[in-house]
Amino acid sequence: MVATREMPLKEYVLKGNAACAGCQDMVALRHAHKALEGDVIQVVPACCTSVVQSLWPKSGLAIPVLNTAFMAAAATASGVKAALKAKGNDTTMVMVWAGDGGTFDIGIQALSGALERRTDFLYICYNNQVYSNTGTQRSGATPLHAQTTTTWHGKTEPEKMLDLIVSAHEPVYQFTANTAYPRDLYDKFKKALEYPGPKFGHIFLPCPQAWNYPVEKGVEIGKLAVETGYWIQWERIGEEFILGRESKRFQDPEKRKPIDEFLKMQGRFSHLFKPKRDDKKIKEFENFIQHRWDVIMRAFT
């Protein structure tokens, strides 16, 4: 794994951008771009990044950014890639940077199309599990029992297992990452540079606004997501599945930290503990965690 001192000093996420305090998206962008080192065109559909990256006439990122419509990120990137090819440029990375709504829900058709066409690009879904830009509405990525402004008493369904949908398109490289592990995230972007063809990265990132936790707790929550087994760190290079070393330790449910530690830090789950612990709902949440482990391991190993 890269040592922190080996990462380029150059910053592509500039000071004075409009991100909220404690925004983990900025952590993801910062390390992604340090790995990509500038030879990239970033396509951004409607999402938090389209707001925080720039308020005209300023620009918060030191790379070319093309904003596009909510459901059109992967299609727009297909066009950018085709234009580069037409002009003889086969080296510049075309990267989509989309939220979970723009990926799991409204943008999934364009994503599927671009993957099926074997478009040589990197699609990143940064997943804060909610339509946070519009004020915290539930998305297909919102977890079971999470409160949002369209599920006031908690969501009644678990999140879509998007990674399995993506993997059915057989990308050349697919990974999950988590902003609590920025060096790992950096390495995965470096690796993405090595494989021509469709690539997909799914980044878990806590959101202090939507999840309702103190702004300095993002990394702690990100780590707890892995340590409770809620989030699984893995990579898939073609058919080869690699369970991330951070997650390997927590494959055995006995070794996982209690899920309460993860849930209790977040206001969106506070109703699970008021007036007293809702054992049934928390059990359902835990069951889904194990179910996801089972499905992932069964599908990929």
Partner 1 sequence: MKTELMSANYAAARSVISARVEVVAAYPITPATTVPEQIALLNEDGFYTGQFIRVESEHSAIFACIGASSTGARAFTATSSNGLLLMDEGLHWAAAARLPIVINNINRSVSPSWNIHVTHDDSYSKRDTGWIQFYVSSVDELYHTIIQSFKLAEDERVLMPVMINSDGFVLSHTLSSFDYLEPEEVDKFLPPYSPPHWVMDPANPVSHGNIVFPEYYQEFRYMMHEGTKNALKVYEEVEKDYKHLFGKYFGGPIDCYKCDDAEVVFTSQGSIAAEAKDAIDELRDEGYKVGNARVRMIRPFPVDKIRELGSRVKGFASFDRGVSYGFGGPVANDIRASMYHTKHRPMIKSYIGGLGGRDMTVTDIKEVILDTFKAVESGELGPEETWHDLME
The binder of partner 1 chosen from 5, 15, 87, 276 (CB under 8 A) = 87
Q: Centre a 10 Å sphere on the Cβ of residue 136 and count the other Cβ atoms it contains.
A: 23
We find the least distance from the C-beta atom of residue 102 to partner 1, in angstroms, to be: 13
- State yes or no: residue 54 binds partner 1 (CB under 8 A): yes
We find the least distance from the C-beta atom of residue 61 to partner 1, in angstroms, to be: 7
At residue 144's C-alpha, the angle toward residues 186 and 260, to 5°, is 75
We find the least distance from the C-beta atom of residue 125 to partner 1, in angstroms, to be: 18
Residue (of 106, 111, 45, 100) closest to 78 by Cα position: 111
The binder of partner 1 chosen from 13, 28, 43, 162 (CB under 8 A) = 43
> Which residue lies nearer to partner 1 by CB, 40 or 192?
40
- State yes or no: residue 110 binds partner 1 (CB under 8 A): yes
- State yes or no: residue 56 binds partner 1 (CB under 8 A): yes
**Alpha-carbon dihedral sign for residues 120, 121, 127, 133:** negative
> Is there a contact between 49 and 245 (Cβ–Cβ < 8 Å)?
no
> Which residue lies nearer to partner 1 by CB, 71 or 224?
71
Kindly report each contact of residues 86-91 with a partner whose C-beta sits within 8 Å and lies 24 or more positions away, as own/partner: 91/39
- State yes or no: residue 86 binds partner 1 (CB under 8 A): yes
> Which residue lies nearer to partner 1 by CB, 92 or 137?
92
> Is there a contact between 234 and 244 (Cβ–Cβ < 8 Å)?
yes
Residue (of 34, 162, 61) closest to 104 by Cα position: 162
The binder of partner 1 chosen from 2, 7, 20, 92 (CB under 8 A) = 92
Binding site residues, partner 1, CB under 8 A: 38-41, 43, 50-51, 53-69, 71-72, 74-87, 92, 109-110, 112-113, 116-117
